[in-house]
Chains A and B, each alone.
Chain A
Amino acid sequence: MDGAQQPETPVDPLAGLTGASPRTVGGAWQPPGTFVSGGRGPKLFSAEGRRGTVVSTVSTVIVLGALVAIFLLAPGAHAVEHAFFSPSHMWAAFIGNPKQGYYSVGAAILLNIKMFVVAEVFILAFALAIALVRQSTHPALFPIRVISTGYVDFFRGVPLILVILAIGLGVPALNLPVVSNQSNAVYGVTALVLSYSAYVSEVYRAGLNSVHQSQVAAARSLGLPHRTALRYVILPQAVRNIVPPLLNDFISLQKDTALVGILGTIEANKAADIYSEQVFNFSSFTVAAILFLILTIPLARFTDRLIERDRRRRLAGAAR
């Protein structure tokens, strides 16, 4: 027997699959005796009917119980409860009392909502313009394309809080005729628009690219000029494709209106801050947090519903 390489008989890759040639020492292939789940695996992960409901209930009780226990049994539990969750303070902060030197968090949240709505309208329009410019190929738009790319890079890179400070402190300092005399909320909204438009324009671009080239071909083949094809065929499909990430940005924006308080604007977080400084209790922040949750959770659930409905529609179409 030589130690050098022996010429090997080529192994047929289909050997053993058809039963024509025996595979291994054990002889011909045998089917498994049964497919019933043996009870040897972890039973907890069975997904069957009623047993599944019991399992999920038990697991919820255990998890919640553990969290509550941690909270109640911690040594500082009582102090934290008073500092953050005191009902009387929460109510006082919610109502507000300007004579005592603090404002109503409940009223201040309305400013957050107003800033959100105004900002969002401008963001949706401005970001679309940026996306369309960046996607265009017309040579005359070249300089604007370059500026747009620089804009997006810059405002995605600089933290929003710095943008708010820069605009809120810098623009008044420039002492320009009309522009320098606006309220802090206006500067805040401007900063939000500048910053978020950079992100949202990227979402739009993803949406525009997600429309299959064949749709563009079909639209152009019918004689539709590019702008008409964009308006009736491409954009409607692009927007439908990106509704979930757009709504995500909505939710984000709602929360980021709180940052405008850094300029002194009395929005919800700032009002809570003022209360806590007057009264040395942080329950006002809990109120603010709850109010923000009331605003964002329905939006989050709505987004989930849209994603699920879209997934069902796509699967139904694909099944054909």
Chain B
Amino acid sequence: MPADPSVPGAGPAAAPGGEAIRIEGLHKSFGENEVLKGIDLAVASHEVVCLIGASGSGKSTLLRCINLLEPINGGTVWLWGSRITGPGIDQNLVRRYIGIVFQSFNLFPHMTVLRNVTLAPAKVLGMPQRQAEEEARALLGRFGLLDKADDYPDRLSGGQQQRVAIVRALAMKPQIMLLDEVTSALDPELVSEVLDVIRELAAGGMTMLIATHEMGFARDIARRVCFLEEGRIIEDAPPAELFSNPRDERTQRFLRRIVEAGRM
């Protein structure tokens, strides 16, 4: 895949063909409720994997466990062969390598778009303010948001806010991007502008794990699609296989419901 140098993720730091994320036996409970019941998953560098499944199946929780927002109850996660779960881990260090974008954008409402993007590079990476702003403007311009740089988030449309959220994550130059149903809260006509940004990232070689309801998009962009139900990965296959010829009966049932709802 030809790497576009202007888009983050294609850097030499990611071992070509190496394993970016490995998850073994991941268990996560919220109190009495076990949400992830033993997840095994591997994502190779520059690979795009989509997670599909009903609400409550554990997609969001899985992503939040990978970037250590949620403590886990069992199992291990490795990044590039190094363990990131368990005792003695520097969580802030791990999070510098993983960018995450949420369904509800979560931009900081009391800061301008530019400041939203430059805050973490300046405070965490120690980038001088001027350099952080230059790079931020370059990224915003790359995705058509430069004229919004000095606006506050409440002036932007949902699609624009979500694209800013993606830029904010990219400003930290992560090697992996986790996208948690980033278009689910958007009006339909705003969804495609966000999907285009994600397509560009994928084309540029970014390793991505995407939880989504957009089946058509998943079919286009993913190298593999994982179907989750009730905290387990039921099926893990390339999209052509999974969507046309699902092996498991539960996957078939889910896909049938999606088609009936007119979403595919």
Residues on A facing B (Cβ under 8 Å): 214-215, 217-225, 228, 232-233, 236-237, 240, 313, 316-317, 320
Asked if B109 and A222 sit within 8 Å, CB to CB, the answer is no
* Residues A228 and B123 in contact in the complex (CB < 8 Å), given A217-B102, A222-B172: yes
* Residues A233 and B106 in contact in the complex (CB < 8 Å), given A224-B124, A320-B158: no
A-B contact pairs, 23 of them (CB 8 A): A215-B106, A217-B106, A218-B108, A221-B98, A221-B100, A221-B169, A222-B120, A222-B124, A222-B169, A222-B172, A223-B92, A223-B93, A223-B95, A223-B96, A224-B123, A224-B124, A225-B124, A232-B119, A240-B110, A313-B154, A317-B109, A320-B157, A320-B158
A residues within 8 A CB of B96? 223
B residues within 8 A CB of A237? 108-110
A-B contact count (CB 8 A): 63
Min C-beta distance of A39 to chain B, whole Å: 44
Please measure, in the bound complex, the distance between the C-alpha atom of A223 and the C-alpha atom of B106, giving whole angstroms: 15
* Residues A220 and B69 in contact in the complex (CB < 8 Å), given A313-B154, A320-B154, A320-B158: yes
Residue of B nearest to A314 (CB): B154
Across the interface, A218 reaches (CB within 8 A) one of B93, B98, B102, B157, namely B102
Residue of B nearest to A316 (CB): B154
B residues within 8 A CB of A232? 119, 123
Residue of B nearest to A214 (CB): B106
* Residues A222 and B119 in contact in the complex (CB < 8 Å), given A217-B69, A316-B154, A320-B158: yes
Asked if A236 and B110 sit within 8 Å, CB to CB, the answer is yes
B residues within 8 A CB of A240? 110
Query: What is the size, in residues, of chain B's interface with A at 8 Å between Cβ atoms?
Result: 28
* Residues A218 and B123 in contact in the complex (CB < 8 Å), given A223-B96, A225-B92, A317-B154: no
Asked if A224 and B69 sit within 8 Å, CB to CB, the answer is no
Asked if A223 and B108 sit within 8 Å, CB to CB, the answer is no
* Residues A220 and B154 in contact in the complex (CB < 8 Å), given A233-B108, A237-B109, A237-B110: no
B residues within 8 A CB of A225? 92, 124
B residues within 8 A CB of A214? 102, 104, 106
Please measure, in the bound complex, the distance between the C-alpha atom of A114 and the C-alpha atom of B124, giving whole angstroms: 41
Is B168's beta carbon under 8 Å from chain A? yes
B residues within 8 A CB of A222? 95, 119-120, 124, 168-169, 172
Is B67's beta carbon under 8 Å from chain A? yes
**Mask: chain B, 143-164; 1 = CB below 8 Å from A; 0 = not:** 0000000000010011000000
